[in-house]
Amino acid sequence: MTSRTSEDIEGIREGTVATNQQRREAAKRKLERQLARRAERAKRRKIVGVGVTVGAVVIVAGLVVYLATRSGDDAAAQPPETSASEKPPVEIPTERAPMPERPKPLADPVSCEFPKDSEPAAKEAKAPSGKDVSSTGTVDATIKTTAGDIPLTLDRALAPCTVQSFVSLAEQGYYSGTSCHRLGTQGLQMLQCGDPNGDGSGGPGYTIPDEAFPELSYGRGVLAMAKKQTPNSGGSQFFMVYGDAAGLPPDYTVFGSISDAGLEVLDKVAKDGIDDSQPSSLGDGTGPPKTPVEFTDVVIGS
């Protein structure tokens, strides 16, 4: 074997160093080319993205110009937008509800108790006599209001004690000068009246017994008593149902009916809506009617 001198060995070493450096330089040039290609691709993508954005802007602008330059007739043909704050129109059924009947007639006559209320009277009134109260026949009454007359038929067979109290209060002039304070136009469609305080808090200083029964139902044309959340707490307040009474339990004494002429008055008041500037404290969507309904008198008899 041929021996190698120190110069040969040194030459091999130098040759090895030169080869590694060449490789590093080649790798560096390759990396630079890769970075250059990546930069070029990114530049092209940016140019394409700008072009797409500009195109979208041009399309939207064209659509705006198209809509703005449509003819007036086309614009008028489109349905108007409804504001979220606008209330739906009041829809009132036209058919009267059947009047309820007691499954078993009451004794005739009956005795009624009208105990003193824990709350003071909103307006001075005398409790009616509760002895030998008739439970048969009807009584005509007309509520004269600033919105029009509302004729009623009071039914002693349904609620003799309630009719006795209503007639007594009317003859004492208790209702004159009072106003209806609560209108409902959705769900329970009724107008509540009979409080001299005008806010649902007042009564005559005495209470009347509940005369409700499970078969009671409510609907257009029904006249019923309002009360507190406790039994036998009715007084002077009542409500007139001109439309639906969905979900109302049979806890409220029905004591008569409203004439067709009276329903026309109630319909007009209801369609005029609720005075939103004075919402009910009950938070149930009811409130004072926008058209005031003030009682000038309640006349008993034809």
> Is pLDDT at 18 greater than 90 in this prediction?
no
**Arithmetic mean of pLDDT, 201-215:** 97
Q: What are residue 245's DSSP bridge partners?
A: 188
- Does 59 share its domain with 182? no
The residue from 79, 96, 130 where one domain ends is: 79
- Does 39 share its domain with 184? no
Total number of domains in the chain: 2
The residue from 32, 55, 79 where one domain ends is: 79
The residue from 79, 109, 129 where one domain ends is: 79
Has residue 86 been placed in a domain?
no
Q: Which one-letter DSSP state was computed for residue 96? A: P
141: nearest Cα among 162, 160, 167:
167
- pLDDT at residue 10 in the model: 33
255: nearest Cα among 183, 130, 155:
155
pTM of the model: 0.72
Has residue 189 been placed in a domain?
yes
- What CATH number should be reported for the domain holding residue 246? 2.40.100.10
* Residue length of the chain: 302
Query: Sorting pLDDT into bands at 50, 70 and 90, what band is 57?
Result: very low
> Greater confidence, 87 or 120?
120
Minimum mean pLDDT among 66-80, 151-165, 177-191: which range?
A: 66-80
Has residue 91 been placed in a domain?
no
Query: Sorting pLDDT into bands at 50, 70 and 90, what band is 174?
Result: very high
Residue-wise pLDDT for 221-257, tens only, equals 999 999 999 999 999 999 999 999 978 999 999 999 9
- pLDDT at residue 278 in the model: 78
Has residue 113 been placed in a domain?
no
- Residue 296 is encoded by which pair of tokens? 């000038």
Minimum mean pLDDT among 6-15, 59-68, 110-119: which range?
A: 6-15
Residue range(s) defining the domain that contains residue 2: 1-79
192: nearest Cα among 155, 233, 241, 144:
241
Burial, 157: exposed, middle or buried (Cβ in 10 Å; 0-12, 13-18, 19+)? middle
Has residue 102 been placed in a domain?
no
- pLDDT at residue 297 in the model: 98
Query: Which residues fall within 8 angstroms of residue 215, CB to CB, at 6 or more apart?
Result: 100, 101, 102, 103, 250
